Amino acid sequence: MSWIPAFTDKIEHPIPINNLLKSKQATPSHPPRPITISIVGAGQRGSGYAYYTILEPQWAKVVAVAEPVDIRRNRMVKLYNIPEENVFKDWKEMIDRPKLSDAVVIATLDDLHVEPAVAFANKKYNILLEKPMAITVEGCKKITKAVTENKIIFAVGHVLRYTPHNILIKSIIDSGFIGNIVNIQHMEPVGFWHFAHSYVRGNWRKEEESCFSLMTKCCHDIDLMSYWNNSPCKISSFGNLVYFNSKNKPKDAGDATNCLECKIEPTCPYSAKKIYIDNGYKKGVISWPVSVVTDITDIENLTNAIKNGPYGRCVYECDNDVADNQIVNLEFANGSTANITMIAYTETVCKRKTKIFGTLGEIEGDGINTVMYYNFLTRKKELLKPSEILGVKGLGGHAGGDLALMRAFIYSIGESLFDLRDINSLHVKTDSHLFVFAAEHSRKTGKTINIEDFKKMWEIS
Ligand X SMILES: NC(=O)c1ccc[n+]([C@@H]2O[C@H](COP(=O)([O-])OP(=O)(O)OC[C@H]3O[C@@H](n4cnc5c(N)ncnc54)[C@H](O)[C@@H]3O)[C@@H](O)[C@H]2O)c1
Instruction: Give how far Cα 114 sits from Cα of 108, 198, 208, 402, Å.
Output: 10, 22, 16, 21
Written as one letter, the residue type at 89 is K
Counting Cα atoms < 13 Å in the Cβ hemisphere of 439 gives 31
Cα dihedral 37, 39, 40, 45 sign = positive
Q: Is 38 helix (H, G, I), strand (E, B) or coil?
A: strand
% helix / strand / coil in the chain, to the nearest 5? 40, 20, 40
Output the smallest distance, CB 112 to ligand X, in A: 6
Written as one letter, the residue type at 243 is Y
Question: Which one, 20 or 133, has the nearer CB to ligand X?
Answer: 133
Calculate the CA dihedral of residues 56, 60, 64, 66 and round it to 10 degrees: -70
- Strands of 154-156's sheet, edge to edge? 87-88, 60-66, 35-40, 103-106, 126-129, 154-156
Q: How many C-beta neighbours within 10 Å does residue 11 have?
A: 17
Written as one letter, the residue type at 200 is V
Output the smallest distance, CB 431 to ligand X, in A: 18
Written as one letter, the residue type at 211 is C
Give, for 71, the enclosing helix (H) or strand (E).
Answer: helix 70-80
Planar angle of CA 235, 342, 170, nearest 5 degrees: 70
217: which residues sit within 8 A by CB, 6+ positions away? Answer: 188, 190, 199, 204, 342
298: which residues sit within 8 A by CB, 6+ positions away? Answer: none
Residues of this chain that interact with ligand X (CB under 6 A) are: 40-46, 66-69, 72, 90-91, 107-110, 112, 130-131, 157, 159, 216, 398
Q: What's the rounded Cα separation, in Å, for the pair 133 and 127?
A: 11
Question: Which one, 99 or 456, has the nearer CB to ligand X?
Answer: 99
Q: How many C-beta neighbours within 10 Å does residue 461 have?
A: 4
